[in-house]
A and B are shown apart, each in its own frame.
Chain A
């Protein structure tokens, strides 16, 4: 399972890139969901997000899940490519699968890659 060492992670399987302010769904999450067929980003540029606020609605063949903000901040970009190509989330969750970018982000309380890897291992059965 892919867990980039330079990103931060939430217990609800979102990642955050402190350098670019981008966030999205982790590789573990996309694997659990299986083939994603629908993504809808529910926040817009200019809105403020904080952990606990849903930023996207994701549907796969067998499940529906909300993606929550991994950090607080003002939304400066939204990935327009996802709605037409939801499979990007499965294929490239950390790259082209970015959902939104925030500025002045507060990323406290997030796990680093090692902690997240341990967390995922403990849940797996």
Chain B
């Protein structure tokens, strides 16, 4: 649908209909002195001058597409984005579409979100997905909201593994302020070698939700089936925050019995963009659908019996349920959900598995070679996906400075979040890293140790 502006005649007719003489009269409620405030802006630039100024600023950026070889992960990953993703996203109908509350003129957006929801359910092994949240961190916080609502406030403890992304845990802490929720397990000083089953001692009859990550922040893969069974035995729900690429290869949290599966969808066709915008996916079981926050697109038929899509169960949302709504959020990441849907459609199950296998094998190759370099060793024994932790002979910041001189982006400094992991680096390897780049990284790490 193209944009059709009002003509002056139409404007005059509308003003006449409501009995107003001119457009300016509609602003009479604003005191005269405030109608055109002095803004004190510098003189206007021409388009040429503005482009030159902004271009000059952007040259200061180094990005992973053209400037840097990246081995940095920790929640956001450098994956290949097929050209078709951007091509579809930039269609005006999608790029400028707003909230599809009027289904008559939003079938395209609604169907795209419905497809996204369906794909995410397939990926996670769950029964229903919402239209997305801001990012993985928000999705984790919403899981706590949902569990709290599910138990109607009768259970007020949330157990969260310290190996869940530090920023997700911090976002949770912000979110649950004032809710009277007790957060247990959120302690970066505990023994990080322990298996997830160690959380068992924290789970009791007052626990609403247990939250774990898959792979965890250190890249490690665990089967949570037993922990989930334990939690269910105490009547608690379990939320697994999962990496979507990993789900192309490993057992789904749905198969393990999780009640809620959330995660960061950035790896699915969304650029790194220095931290965002990203995509929080949120899935659960059908029995909890009325406690699901966020938008939900449903499939139905119109009054002519034609298949149609619509935002459904809308009375859950805060503009209707108001102070009794599960969450204050009723927004989604429409364009990025579309990007994820395009990415998943293009790759399919086979393609996604291929990406995951490449990540897995390249990461294991890198880990093996780095382990052989004097002064470096792989920290944990546990099976991992595409990220692993390395004990380094020098501070991570120092090593990364050296790597950056050669245009290599090193791994994440784990000491920043975990006191017991000073001088430990979290290295991520994806399909974007060639064997030559990995070999070069290994050489650079070796050189750093000799200097």
Contact = CB atoms under 8 A, between A and B. Distances in A.
Interface of A: 37-38, 40, 42, 57, 59-64, 66
Given A37-B313, A37-B315, A38-B313, A62 B324 contact: no
Contact of A63 (B152, B290, B313, B315): B315
Contacts, number: 28
Interface residues of B, number: 10
Contacts of A61: 314-315
B290 A40 contact: yes
Nearest to B325: A64
A63 B322 CA distance: 10
A77 B33 CA distance: 65
A42 B313 contact: no
The 7 closest A-B pairs by CB, nearest first: A59-B315, A64-B321, A64-B315, A38-B290, A64-B320, A63-B315, A42-B152
Contacts of A42: 152
Interface in B324-375: 324
B220 interface: no
Given A38-B290, A66-B324, A60 B152 contact: no
A63 B320 contact: yes
Interface string B125-169: 000000000000000000000000000100000000000000000
A62 B101 CA distance: 12
Interface in B280-320: 290, 313-316, 320
Contact of A59 (B152, B313, B322): B313
The majority secondary structure among interface residues of chain A is strand
A62 B152 contact: no
Contact of A57 (B313, B320, B324): B324
Contacts of A59: 290, 313, 315-316, 321
A60 B290 contact: no
A64 B313 CA distance: 10
Contacts of B324: 57, 64, 66
**B contacts with A: majority SS:** helix
11 contacts: A38-B290, A38-B313, A38-B315, A42-B152, A59-B290, A59-B315, A64-B315, A64-B316, A64-B320, A64-B322, A64-B324
Contacts of B313: 37-38, 59
Contacts of A38: 290, 313, 315
Contacts of B316: 59, 64
Contacts of A64: 315-316, 320-322, 324
Contacts of B321: 59, 64
B290 A62 contact: no
A37 B313 CA distance: 8
Nearest to B291: A40
Nearest to B317: A64
Contacts of B320: 62-64
Nearest to A37: B313
Nearest to B287: A83
Given A42-B152, A64-B322, 12 more contacts: A37-B315, A38-B290, A59-B290, A59-B313, A59-B316, A60-B315, A61-B315, A62-B320, A64-B315, A64-B316, A64-B321, A64-B324
Interface in B101-133: none
A38 B149 CA distance: 15
A98 to B, nearest CB: 21
Contacts of B152: 42
B195 to A, nearest CB: 37
A40 B151 CA distance: 12
Nearest to A83: B290
A40 B152 CA distance: 11
Nearest to A54: B324
Contacts of B315: 37-38, 59-64
A62 B315 CA distance: 6
